[in-house]
């Protein structure tokens, strides 16, 4: 027998007749007409060169050959059902999978602690790896499935990939105070010297728009080195507000002021990106929904808390 010539629907017919011991009851079980099931049984008899089922009063009984075939057919049916179930859902409690996500160094600080905490509770078999790619390399990695998601302010991906907005973020300026006993609340920007982060080109663009590009004295690839640079050099930096708040709460020494930048539109949108080919893949759907749940909600809550407290953002930031 050539397996390529076998209609797999016939296995369903065989299993239903074997379980029900009746052609008519098998038809009801399968949602088919009795003649359709009888036709299927005729084809099965030809395939196996055996009657398979013989008539008895009130139904049919399997032949010796059918009893030998039945366990194999039922195992095949279970395997197929398992395969289809796994293809239609992702069970976080039992699933084992590694997701690769593109994010910046500060994105890792922002997203990984709460995400990993939730995975430990909900999906202990899920593992996260992060990477930092840019430009064409990032685009190709998403398209090929080499990475599953990208998170961040990534305008290069806006036209090519599906996305979900997570939150908006304002840019601010962290600047040292004047060397005086009581530093003033403002300081001319032209008197400052700057460090910029090359992996986040929007900060450099802002300095250019403000006519301060000639005041840039240092360029570094990552945000997380900034506290050490601040401490030793007194340079200022344009950066997302969350970055400054994190630095003020956790690292560094000295005293810096958070200054609102002049001009409208100095903000960015943080999005979650993925390739449309994987939009219906169950694991992809599950992790997307978890990321949106964690970070879209927390951003809204953060804004609400800010409104309630009336907290002023143009204040001194102390690195402790």
Contact 248, 316 (CB under 8 A): no
Beta bridge partners of 318: 255
What are the structural domain ranges in the chain? 3-88, 97-168+269-309, 169-266+313-318
C-alpha to C-alpha distances, 28 to 31, 39, 53, nearest whole angstrom: 5, 15, 18
Return the exposure string of 298-310: e unless at least 16 CB atoms fall within 10 Å of the residue's CB, then b.
ebeeeeeeeeeee
The CATH architecture to which 97-168+269-309 belongs is 3-Layer(aba) Sandwich (3.40)
Say how many C-beta atoms besides its own lie within 10 A of residue 35's C-beta. 10
| 169-266+313-318: CATH, from 3.40.605.10, 3.40.50.1000, 3.40.190.10, 3.30.413.10 | 3.40.190.10
Q: pTM of the entire structure?
A: 0.64
Contact 314, 186 (CB under 8 A): no
Mean pLDDT of the chain: 83
97-168+269-309 against 169-266+313-318: fold identical: yes
pLDDT (tens digit per residue) in 30-53: 999 999 999 999 999 998 999 999
Say how many C-beta atoms besides its own lie within 10 A of residue 189's C-beta. 19
Task: Please tell me the predicted confidence (pLDDT) of residue 18.
Answer: 92
The pair of structure tokens assigned to 15 is 């299993």
Say how many C-beta atoms besides its own lie within 10 A of residue 240's C-beta. 24
**Which residues, at least 6 apart from 200, have a Cβ–Cβ distance to it below 8 Å?**
104, 153, 223, 239, 240
Task: Please tell me the predicted confidence (pLDDT) of residue 33.
Answer: 93
Torsion of Cα atoms, 32 then 34 then 37 then 39, to 10°: -130
Task: Please tell me the predicted confidence (pLDDT) of residue 5.
Answer: 63
The CATH architecture to which 3-88 belongs is Orthogonal Bundle (1.10)
Say how many C-beta atoms besides its own lie within 10 A of residue 2's C-beta. 5
- What is residue 151's three-state secondary structure? strand
pLDDT (tens digit per residue) in 93-142: 988 889 999 998 888 988 999 999 999 999 999 999 999 888 889 999 99
């Amino acid at each position: 027998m050539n397996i390529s010539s076998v209609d797999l629907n016939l296995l369903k017919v065989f299993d239903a007749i074997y379980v029900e011991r009746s052609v008519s009851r098998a038809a009801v079980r399968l949602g088919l007409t009795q003649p359709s099931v009888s036709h299927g049984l005729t084809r099965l008899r030809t395939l196996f060169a055996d009657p398979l089922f013989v008539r008895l009063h009130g139904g049919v009984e399997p032949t010796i050959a059918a009893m030998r075939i039945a366990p194999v057919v039922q195992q095949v049916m279970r395997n197929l059902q398992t395969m289809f179930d796994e293809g239609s859902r992702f069970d976080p409690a039992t699933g084992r999978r590694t997701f690769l996500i593109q994010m910046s160094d500060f994105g890792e600080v922002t997203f990984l602690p709460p995400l990993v905490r939730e995975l430990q509770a909900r999906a202990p078999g899920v593992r996260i790896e992060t990477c930092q790619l840019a430009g064409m390399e990032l685009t190709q990695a998403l398209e090929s499935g080499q990475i599953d998601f990208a998170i961040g302010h990534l305008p290069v991906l806006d036209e090519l990939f599906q996305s979900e907005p997570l939150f908006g973020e304002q840019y601010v300026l962290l600047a040292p105070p004047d060397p005086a006993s009581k530093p003033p609340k403002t300081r001319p920007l032209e008197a400052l010297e700057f460090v910029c982060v090359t992996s986040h080109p929007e900060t450099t663009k802002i300095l250019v728009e403000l006519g301060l590009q000639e005041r840039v004295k240092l360029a570094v690839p990552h945000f997380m080195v900034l506290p050490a640079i601040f401490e030793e050099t007194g340079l200022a930096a344009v950066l997302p507000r969350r970055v400054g708040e994190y630095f003020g709460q956790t690292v560094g020494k000295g005293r810096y002021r958070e200054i609102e930048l002049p001009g409208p539109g100095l903000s960015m949108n943080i999005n979650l990106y993925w390739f449309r080919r994987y939009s219906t893949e169950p694991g992809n759907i599950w992790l997307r929904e978890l990321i949106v749940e964690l970070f879209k909600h927390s951003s809204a809550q953060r804004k609400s808390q800010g409104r309630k407290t009336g907290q002023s953002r143009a204040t001194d930031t102390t690195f402790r």
